[in-house]
Structure 1
Amino acid sequence: MIPAGARVHFVGIGGAGMSAIASVLIARGYAVSGSDLRESEITRRLRAAGARIQIGHAPEHVEPGQVVVISRAVPEANVEVQMARRSGVQVLHRAEMLGSLMEGMRSIAIVGTHGKTTTTSMIARVLERAGRDPTVLIGGEVDDFGGNARAGHGEDLVAEVDESDGSLLRVAPQIAVVTNIDATDHLDYYGSIEQVLETFGRFLTRLPADGLAVVCADAAAGGTLVAGLRGSGGARAVTYGLAPESDYAGRILEMAGFRTAFEVRRGRDLLGTVTLSVPGEYNVQNALGALAVGLELGVPFASAADSLMTFRSVQRRFTVRGEVGGVLVVDDYAHNPTKVRALLQATRRCWPQSRIIAVFQPHRYSRTQTVGPQFADAFDPAHEVIVTELYAADEPSVPGIDAGIIVRAVRARRPVQYIADAAQVVAALAERVGPGDLVLTIGAGDVWKIGDGLLASLRARAAGVQEHG
């Protein structure tokens, strides 16, 4: 446990996970400082909340008596990390600080290669609307509480936990939710799906004897994890999903546009019907995970269902950027083959009359190198596909690795257009879109700017038509 009133310094405070922890610490009265390479909305928000933030890294930012927090994104050669090591200042990994926050609370950790941000948000909403006033830490911006963290006064702490670097083994929650395990994700760190499964299995064994594992049964690895946990005599496990044998089983009744309705059974008992205002089969799975947690904690079904009915999606998770002249522009964070495929399948199913135009921005050299060819059939549900230049994030370029890997894989199955420059993508879209079209910008980088540019172009054109009409 970090002593009350301790001074905590975050190296890379603008990151999603780091800033969420910093927000909760500020609310709890800790003196928080941090540094980041660039100013952002997140750093401005933290500064307004009371954090002392420097742009750029420098040794003098580290002071005696502080606790310094780092993440995998911060190299050991960072000058602030080096100063902390030389000065004997305590250095903690982000997950260790999260584990410290969990102490003394009923902690609920959500892990999984996809679905965890939305599932975490849904669980938070179910508990908050039930009057439990949870503390929440999420890897995305949530409209419900205007950021990625909420400092509550109840006994529950709900946290999205990063599994990408194995640091989930640094936390020991009371309840663990496993949304999914994708064989194409995080292989740059783990090397194989077998190693991913082994790590998730070890994570579940960290649950206390009276703890609870809530596992998605629709995931291919879900049954393996549950069987392993039950075989070890560890914590109790329940499953959720669209598979009929799930402990909390859903059956989709309707999917049309932003309306999705499904019924929920617990064993043979029909609990009722839930209506969501977010589309897609995967959001039904996310909601079932939230329902399972809520019901296991004693939240009445009616309360949980009402909470989910008014749930608004996390930013960059099928976020509507706007609609002009009957052209709907939506943005989504999907960035690996499984997520892209699920996103487009859901869009095609929920908007069957629309022409779906997918604009994809590949993310990271390492991911493109590892799973690029697996994008071949990911875009099959779309009517048209445009691929843009690769978004490197913080990675150096790798010779021979570029967006062409994905373009060639997709082109082997269907037509695809490669347009590197964002402005040219906007121009091309503006020429071809019309009423009833749905343009979906996809990727973990800044591809959303293309959607905004298209909307601006369409508005300008509409204004010009009216002016000359």
Structure 2
Amino acid sequence: MLPLKRIHFIGIGGVGMSAVAWVILKKRIPISGSDVQPNIQTARLEKEGVPVYYGHSPENVKDAGLIVVSSAIHEDNPELVQARNLKIPIWHRSDMLEEILSEGESITVAGTHGKTSTASMAALVLERAGLDPTFIIGGDLNELGGNARLGAGKYIVAEADESDGTFLSYHPQYAIVTNVEPDHLDFYKTADNVKNAFQKHLSNVCDKGCAILCADDPGLLSILEKDLKCQVLFYSARFMTADFFAGEINLHANGSAFTVFKERQELGQVRLSVPGRHNIINALSVIALGDKLGLSLEQMTPALREFKGAKRRFQLKGTYDGITVIDDYAHHPTEVATTLAGAIALRESKKGRIIAIFQPHRYTRTRDFHNEFAGAFKDADVVIITDIYPAGEKPISGVSGRMIYDGLVRNNHPNPIYVSNMDDICNTLISLIVPGDVIFTMGAGNIWKVGDRLLQRLTLAQPV
């Protein structure tokens, strides 16, 4: 039971924290928050009258009835220390999300990749079908104007983030799992621990619920060693024997078309406005979910076609004089390779080159996957590597973006470039881009700023 007294969110500007805070606010429970600096999420909350404090001070938790923190908040945070001194109850963000999920029929989307896009598609499909869902997502859903909303319907769609293991708190009625790969080894330490966590997540699905799983992913299939208590539905773009199959696939520069089969019976055709085979697979999981909830394919297809992607997921930032700038959150080798593969049709239509600008995210991920990153850029004609976005991590001796660049050189990539200072990338780009080029800024940090600066430079036609 949530207190009616003020709930204070430490780190309220985080995309996950702000989403949970938004839903609590709309339940008419007073909230406040603090963070290091303003951002889009804090501005949105402040516009609704939420007090947001910049900088962390013990005074900020005074008279709060409950404190909410995420794994990003350190134990010595002055507000957290003061809350303990005052014996104010402290919840993790996952505890609050589980409280919200318990109030309806919960739908979680988990997986190493594709969570945000898939959860966003699911929320939009349910919304356009008139089911008025609550949703809490790790990125802004452009069509619905934010990363969270409190709906009046019974369904609650949430992204289940595996990065710190807290997704094991959830007991969903419906669980989509997109894939399972080693990641977040700073927390899990081994690939087996990652697999064990996803195995436990699936065992937490309610007995009368349903797990919706991608049959195309070897990592996911490898954890299904024992029968689950819940119903299991498989979706696939490779195996017609899956419960839901995407066939007759046609990829093009700005989207795709495919035919949906359920138990080998044709249901109809779907058109997407987001490119790439991976988005077909994401959409198929949502179609399987909607079918389970009683929606027809005809009810789902308009929303699937309307979906233009979540923020920072293959997001078109702008075009100028035949040059296209796209931003993507890809920060794992598989995500990088998948995003660039999805751009091939776009490159062919533009008759230019794919130029990938990659900012590694975290020292630990760079250390653990630098060889895999070096092999992930085969579909890029030019690759610019910059230095690491630390995301709060301390530097590790010998670990830098140059490790990935050196790997590209060893792999004989034709055009690798290392620019250690992100602020210098625009000058490098101006010297080499030509009409027809498609430029990708990639990473989970602040690399998106490069695309914005480049478009501004091109538009203003400032000399180098």
TM-score under structure 2 length normalisation:
0.96
Instruction: Report what 1:98 is aligned to.
Output: 97
* Pairwise CA distance, 1:351: 2.7
Mapped to 1, the partners of 2:90 and 2:460 lie a distance apart of: 52
Task: State the AA in 2 paired with 1:237.
Answer: V
Asked if the contact 2:136/2:149 (under 8 Å) is kept, the reply is yes
Aligned residue number for residue 388 of structure 2? 390
Instruction: Provide the rounded CA distance (Å) in 1 between the counterparts of 2:152 and 2:11.
Output: 27
Distance 1:437 1:40, change over 3 A: same
- Following superposition, the deviation at residue 435 of structure 1 comes to 1.6
What amino acid is aligned across from residue 205 of structure 1 in structure 2? S
1:219 corresponds to which residue?
217
Shift of 1:181: 1.1
What amino acid maps onto 1:266 in structure 2?
Answer: K
CA distance in 1, matches of 2:255, 2:10: 42
In the alignment, the residues of structure 2 paired with residue 130 and residue 435 of structure 1 have an alpha-carbon distance, to the nearest angstrom, of: 41
1:56 aligns with 2:27: no
State which of 168, 186, 189 in structure 2 corresponds to 1:188.
186
Equivalent position of 2:365 in the other structure: 367
Q: Which residue of 1 aligns with 2:302?
A: 306
Query: 2: distance between equivalents of 1:368 and 1:226?
Result: 29
- Equivalent residue number for residue 467 of structure 1: none
The residue aligned with 2:431 is: 431
What one-letter code is carried by the residue in structure 2 that aligns with 1:265?
F
Structure 1 residues 67-92: Cα deviation after superposition (integer angstroms, max 9, x where no partner): 11111101111111111122221111
Question: Equivalents in 2 of 1:19, 1:309: separation in Å?
Answer: 28
1:270 paired to 2:269: no
Shift of 1:159: 0.4
Contact 1:26 1:50 in 2 (8 A): no
The letter of the residue matching 2:457 is S
Q: CA deviation at 1:223?
A: 2.3
Which deviates further from its counterpart, 350-359 or 146-155? 350-359
| Alignment-derived partner of residue 351 in structure 1 | 347
- Please give the alpha-carbon distance, in whole angstroms, between the structure 2 residues aligned to 1:308 and 1:187: 34
Q: Which amino acid aligns with 1:392?
A: P
Matches within 5 A, 1:268-347: 268-347=264-343
Task: Confirm or deny: 8 A CA contact 2:196 2:223 kept in the other structure.
Answer: no
Question: C-alpha distance in 1, partners of 2:235/2:254?
Answer: 23
Q: How high is the TM-score relative to the length of structure 1?
A: 0.95
Q: CA deviation at 1:363?
A: 1.3
Counterparts of 2:397 and 2:248, CA distance in 1? 46
Q: Secondary structure at the match of 1:176?
A: strand
Deviation string, structure 1 residues 3-23 (Cα, Å, up to 9, x no partner): 4x3421111010011100000
From 241, 244, 269, the equivalent of 1:248 is 244
- Which residue of the partner structure matches residue 133 of structure 2? 134
Alpha-carbon distance in structure 2 between the residues aligned to 1:400 and 1:201: 35
Letter in 1 for 2:301: A
SS at match of 2:319: strand
Separation in 2 of the partners of 1:106 and 1:308?
A: 22
Q: Does 1:237 align with 2:232?
A: yes
Distance 2:170 2:242 in 1: 27
After TM superposition, where is structure 1 displaced by more than 3 Å over at least 4 residues in a row? 224-227
Q: Could you tell me which of 400, 403, 410 is aligned with 2:401?
A: 403
Q: What are the ranges of 5 or more consecutive residues in structure 1 without an aligned counterpart?
A: 465-469
Q: What is residue 147 of structure 1 aligned with on the other side? A: 146
Q: Pairwise CA RMSD of aligned residues?
A: 1.5
Describe the superposition over 1:232-263 as per-residue Cα deviations: whole angstroms up to 9, x where unpaired: 5x011111121223211112521111121111
* Kept in 1: contact 2:133–2:152 (CA 8 A): yes
Task: Supply the AA of the counterpart residue of 2:135.
Answer: V
Question: Which amino acid in 2 is paired with 1:147?
Answer: G
The aligned amino acid for 1:399 is S
Pair 1:293–1:402, CA change in 2 (3 A): same
Partner of 2:343: helix, strand, or coil?
helix
Question: Could you tell which deviates more after superposition, 427-436 or 96-105?
Answer: 427-436
Work out whether residues 188 and 370 of structure 1, in 8 Å CA contact, stay in contact via their aligned partners in 2: no
| One-letter amino acid of the structure 1 residue matched with residue 143 of structure 2 | D
Instruction: Please give the secondary structure, in 2, of the residue aligned with 1:304.
Output: helix
| 1:256/1:351 contact within 8 Å kept | no
Q: Distance between the aligned counterparts of 2:248 and 2:456, measured in 1? A: 37
Aligned pair count?
458
Q: Secondary structure at the match of 1:250?
A: strand
SS at match of 2:222: helix
Q: Which moved more, 1:308-317 or 1:345-354?
A: 345-354
* Structure-2 separation of matches of 1:252 and 1:397: 48
- Whether the 8 Å CA contact 2:125–2:300 is kept in 1: the answer is yes
- After superposing the two structures, state which structure 1 stretch, 161-170 or 421-430, moved more: 421-430
Does residue 253 of structure 2 align to residue 261 of structure 1? no
Supply the AA of the counterpart residue of 1:72.
Answer: S
Per-residue deviation, 1:425: 1.6
SS in 2 for 1:351: helix
Which residue of 2 is the match for residue 447 of structure 1? 447
CA-to-partner distance for each residue in 1:304-341, whole Å, 9 max, x for gaps?
11110111111111111111111111111101111101
Distance 1:63 1:456 in 2: 44
Q: 8 Å contact 2:255–2:276 — kept in the other structure?
A: no
**Structure 2 contact 124–144 (Cα < 8 Å) conserved:** no
Given that 1:280 and 1:350 are in contact with CA atoms closer than 8 Å, whether structure 2 keeps it comes out as no
